[in-house]
């Protein structure tokens, strides 16, 4: 799957392309489309000790949460001394980001290996399917406190979902759709954290409702306002928590 995408890039899917009109050529700007264009962090190398520790640490998350203790217990199972904790410069956010990136990249497996997805022909139906699959990986996820990096990873997720669902648009509408999808995903994630229904049925019903409105321009404007409120409010809460700690 990734090699195919790399091949598409080699054929000029991104950067500056040329569109021939008559005898001349008019430059055509094409935005960097999906998150496969973004370099992943060096720690996301399956052969590195850091990757192995973080992967194993996910098994301790149900018991310890996304805390340093999960990383510490994981490193000890491999026989590492506690000094190896110096690898994790961002503390527990390394573990949170590891989860976010790993679950996002798993969507490529859904597209290439799931017959149910291959039978879907409508772009919006594919978006719904991929969002629900991503939400299934959140049964023990809390919203990350690092707003800057979390927002970047959120938009990468939206990039992938739009791309994998077959969205080939390259105009301004794409940015609106990405922002709207990001906002919808945040709302669903927040709702899911409080959902007590069996197998999160209420969350997935809400996903159907919210994702059905993504094509509505008025809904896009509402989502932009909601996303800005979420970002500012989260930032203020983070500042308050730091001030409380002294």
Q: Determine the Cα angle at 207 with ends 168 and 181, to 5°.
A: 35
Q: Determine the Cα angle at 243 with ends 57 and 240, to 5°.
A: 80
Domain range enclosing 161: 122-245
Q: Determine the Cα angle at 80 with ends 79 and 81, to 5°.
A: 120
Q: Do residues 93 and 18 both lie within one domain? A: no
Using CA atoms, how far residue 246 sits from 146, 228, 235, 237, 240, in Å, is 19, 27, 17, 14, 10
pLDDT at residue 133 above 70? yes
Whether residue 222 lies inside any domain: the answer is: yes
Q: Do residues 53 and 159 both lie within one domain? A: no
Q: For 36-60, how does the pLDDT look when each residue is reduced to its tens digit (9 = 90+)?
A: 444 455 556 788 889 999 999 988 8
What value does the mean pLDDT take over residues 195-210? 86
Whether residue 110 lies inside any domain: the answer is: no
Q: Do residues 54 and 89 both lie within one domain? A: yes
Q: Do residues 12 and 63 both lie within one domain? A: no
Higher pLDDT, 210 or 83: 83
Using CA atoms, how far residue 142 sits from 65, 77, 97, 145, 199, in Å, is 9, 25, 11, 9, 17
pLDDT at residue 115 above 90? no
Higher pLDDT, 147 or 12: 147
Exposed/middle/buried for 139, CB within 10 Å: 0-12, 13-18, 19+?
A: exposed
Whether residue 194 lies inside any domain: the answer is: yes
Q: Do residues 183 and 232 both lie within one domain? A: yes
- Measured CA to CA, the distance from residue 152 to residue 82 in angstroms comes to 31
Whether residue 235 lies inside any domain: the answer is: yes
Using CA atoms, how far residue 131 sits from 4, 23, 56, 180, 207, in Å, is 23, 45, 25, 13, 8
**Residue 78's pLDDT is what?**
93
Q: Do residues 135 and 227 both lie within one domain? A: yes
pLDDT at residue 241 above 60? no
Using CA atoms, how far residue 226 sits from 123, 159, 220, 230, 232, in Å, is 24, 19, 10, 6, 10
Q: Do residues 127 and 230 both lie within one domain? A: yes
Q: Do residues 159 and 51 both lie within one domain? A: no
Q: Domain ends where: 75, 105, 135?
A: 105
Q: Do residues 220 and 153 both lie within one domain? A: yes
Select the highest-mean-pLDDT range: 58-62, 211-215, 233-237: 58-62
Report how many domains make up the chain.
3
Q: Do residues 66 and 178 both lie within one domain? A: no
Q: Do residues 65 and 92 both lie within one domain? A: yes
Which residues are bridge partners to 19 per DSSP? 26
pTM for the whole structure: 0.52
Whether residue 113 lies inside any domain: the answer is: no
Whether residue 137 lies inside any domain: the answer is: yes
Whether residue 115 lies inside any domain: the answer is: no
Q: Determine the Cα angle at 156 with ends 4 and 142, to 5°.
A: 130
Q: Phi/psi of residue 56, each to 5°?
A: -70, -35
Whether residue 117 lies inside any domain: the answer is: no
pLDDT at residue 105 above 90? no
pLDDT at residue 162 above 60? yes
Q: Which residues contact 230 (CB under 8 A, 6 or more apart)?
A: 183, 186
What value does the mean pLDDT take over residues 148-160? 66
Q: Do residues 139 and 186 both lie within one domain? A: yes
As a whole-number percent, the residues of the chain with pLDDT over 90 amount to 7
DSSP state of 23: T
């Amino acid at each position: 799957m990734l090699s195919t995408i790399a091949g598409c890039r080699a054929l000029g899917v991104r950067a500056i392309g040329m569109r021939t009109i008559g005898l001349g050529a008019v430059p055509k700007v094409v935005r960097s489309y999906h998150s496969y264009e973004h370099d992943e962090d060096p720690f996301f190398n399956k052969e590195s000790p850091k990757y192995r520790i973080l992967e194993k640490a996910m098994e301790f998350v149900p018991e310890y949460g996304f805390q340093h203790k999960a990383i510490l217990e994981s490193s000890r199972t491999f026989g590492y001394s506690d000094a190896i904790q110096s690898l994790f410069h961002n503390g527990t956010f390394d573990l949170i980001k590891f989860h976010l990136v790993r679950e996002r990249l798993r969507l490529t497996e859904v597209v290439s290996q799931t017959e149910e997805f291959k039978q879907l022909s409508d772009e919006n139906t594919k978006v719904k399917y991929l969002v629900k699959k991503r939400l299934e990986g959140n049964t023990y996820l809390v919203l990350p406190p690092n707003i800057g990096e979390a927002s970047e990873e959120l938009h990468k997720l939206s990039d992938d979902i739009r791309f994998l669902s077959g969205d080939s648009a390259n105009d301004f509408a794409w940015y609106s759709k990405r922002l709207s999808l990001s906002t919808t995903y945040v709302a669903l994630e927040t709702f899911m954290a409080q959902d007590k229904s069996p197998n999160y049925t209420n969350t997935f019903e809400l996903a159907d409702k919210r994702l059905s409105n993504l094509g509505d321009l008025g809904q896009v404007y509402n989502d932009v306002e909601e996303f800005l409120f979420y970002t500012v409010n989260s930032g203020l809460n983070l500042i308050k928590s730091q001030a409380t700690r002294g």
